[in-house]
Amino acid sequence: MKLSACCIAILLAMMTAGGMSAQQHDPGRRSAGVDAHNELTASMKQMHAAMGSIESSGNIDVDFARMMLPHHQAAIDMARTQLLYGKDPQMRRLAQEIITDQESEIELMQLWLKQHGAQR
């Protein structure tokens, strides 16, 4: 199952929002929820910095692949955070699928860049 980045972001936002209300009643869960949220936010900041540092090559195909690499890595990092902190079986399964799919797509983009003489 393939999900768009927008769908993933919405699901992650729902996870975070839903989890925080339950954590307000349990200080231990609240701390874990804050840690998880901080990790999700750090992944996004790292992605934005990496994507913003990519200079135009003049070739949209190359630029697309280069910019998608940190985007996909952020999805993997966020999914790993979900596996570390998340409890819901559906969200954990989705996180594992995201990791598998995004890793495969990263490999494809890296191979494409190599075949087209474009450095990362």
Rounded to two decimals, the pTM is: 0.73
Beta-carbon neighbour count of residue 106 at 10 Å?
19
Please name the residue that has the structure tokens 């954990």.
92
| The dihedral formed by the CA atoms of 17, 18, 19 and 23, expressed in degrees to the nearest 10 | 100
pLDDT score recorded for residue 22: 43
**pLDDT at residue number 91:** 97
- How confident is the model over 89-99, as pLDDT tens digits? 999 999 999 99
What pLDDT does residue 32 have?
Answer: 76
- How far the first Cα of the chain sits from its last, in Å, is 28
Best CA proximity match to 109, nearest among 73, 68, 79, 53: 68
If one looks up domain 5-115 in CATH, what number appears? 1.20.1260
Greatest extent of the chain over all pairs of C-alpha atoms, in Å: 55
Closest to 8 in 3D by CA, of 83, 89, 72, 100: 72
Closest-CA residue to 43 (of 15, 71, 67, 2)? 71
**Which residue ranges in the chain fall short of pLDDT 70?**
1-30, 120
Q: What's the pLDDT score for residue 20?
A: 44
Domain range annotation of the chain: 5-115
